[in-house]
Amino acid sequence: MSKLKEQILQSAWQLFRERGYENVSLRAIAEHAGTTIGNLTYHYPQKEDLLLAMQISTQGEALAQYGSMPEMPEEVLRELHAMIERTESILRERAFYFNSIFKLCRDVPSLRTNVEKTRDIVYDIYLSRFEVLRNSGYMRDDMPMDVYSNLVMAIILSISSWLYVQENFHDKTSRASIAEVLKTLIFACLTEKGRALWQDLMSGEDA
C-alpha cells in the first residue's frame, strides 16, 4: 500500500472513530490526510471503499495471529491461549469498526460479504485446532464435534458483540473481560491433561 493510500486510510479511521461514519465526508478525510479530494477518490472512490479497506486491514491483523497449524498439540493449546490474550487489544484498537460492524454490514452488502468470509476462516481455524486437541487427549472426546462446532460459534458471537455491549450497557455482562470469558469456555472442554497445561499458561500471565 502506498504511503498516501495508508495515510488516507488512517485519517478515515480517526475521523470515523471521532465523529461517526455517517458524519464524515470524503472531503473531510482528504483535508485531514493533507491531500486533495481527487487524490483520495483515485484510491477510494466512495466511503464504502474505505470501509472495505478497513475490513481487509482488520482481517489481516486478526488472522496474522493464526499461523499454520502447530505440529505438536501442546503448541496448539499455547497458540489458542495467545490468540485469546490478544483478542481484547485488537478489539479496542479497532473500536470504531467493531462497534459499528452490524450496522455497517447492513448498509454495505460488499462489507457483509467480506465479514462473512472472514468468519468462515476463523470458524475453520478454531474448529480444526479443537479437533487436534480432542484427538490428542487435551480436549474431551466424550463431547462430539458438534459440541465443538457450537463452541466456535459461541466464541465468534462473543467476540463480535463484546465491545458494543461493554461500551453501551452497564450491567454485569458489560463488565466482563472477553479474554476471561473465552478462557472459561475453552477450559470447560479440556481434559485433566489439557487443564494442567492451560493452568500453567495462566500462571505464566501472572509471573
Q: Which value, to the nearest 10 degrees, does the dihedral of the CA atoms of residues 131, 135, 140, 145 take?
A: 40
**Among 30, 20, 16, which residue's Cα sits nearest to residue 58?**
16
Same-domain pairing of 67 and 95: yes
Residue 66 is placed in which grid cell? 493464526
Same-domain pairing of 132 and 183: yes
Same-domain pairing of 76 and 37: no
Total-model pTM: 0.83
Same-domain pairing of 80 and 144: yes
Quote the percentage of the chain above a pLDDT of 70.
97
**Among 28, 54, 39, 52, which residue's Cα sits nearest to residue 4?**
39
In a domain, 34, yes or no: yes
Is pLDDT above 80 for 63? no
In a domain, 97, yes or no: yes
Same-domain pairing of 31 and 62: no
Question: What is the gyration radius of the CA atoms in the chain, in angstroms?
Answer: 20
In a domain, 50, yes or no: no
| Sequence-separated (6 or more) residues with CB below 8 Å from residue 167 | 95, 99, 174
Alpha helical stretches, state H, 23-108: 26-33, 37-43, 47-63, 73-93, 95-107
Same-domain pairing of 158 and 77: yes
| Sequence-separated (6 or more) residues with CB below 8 Å from residue 129 | 69, 76, 79, 80
Interaxial angle between packed helices 95-107 and 73-93, expressed in degrees from 0 to 180 and rounded to the nearest 10: 80
- The answer to whether the CB of 148 falls within 8 A of the CB of 139 is yes
Same-domain pairing of 88 and 16: no
CA distance 86 to 57: 16
Same-domain pairing of 20 and 118: no
In a domain, 170, yes or no: yes
In a domain, 60, yes or no: yes
- The answer to whether the CB of 121 falls within 8 A of the CB of 60 is no
Query: In terms of residue numbers, what domain contains 139?
Result: 55-206
Greater pLDDT, 71 or 60: 71
Same-domain pairing of 119 and 29: no
Give tens-digit pLDDT for 98-124.
888 888 888 888 889 988 998 999 999
Give the least confident one: 51-65, 69-83, 167-181: 51-65
Residue with cell 505438536: 72
What CATH number is associated with residue 194?
A: 1.10.357.10
In a domain, 35, yes or no: yes
Same-domain pairing of 31 and 67: no
Total number of domains in the chain? 2
Same-domain pairing of 73 and 100: yes
Same-domain pairing of 40 and 139: no
What CATH number is associated with residue 24?
A: 1.10.10.60
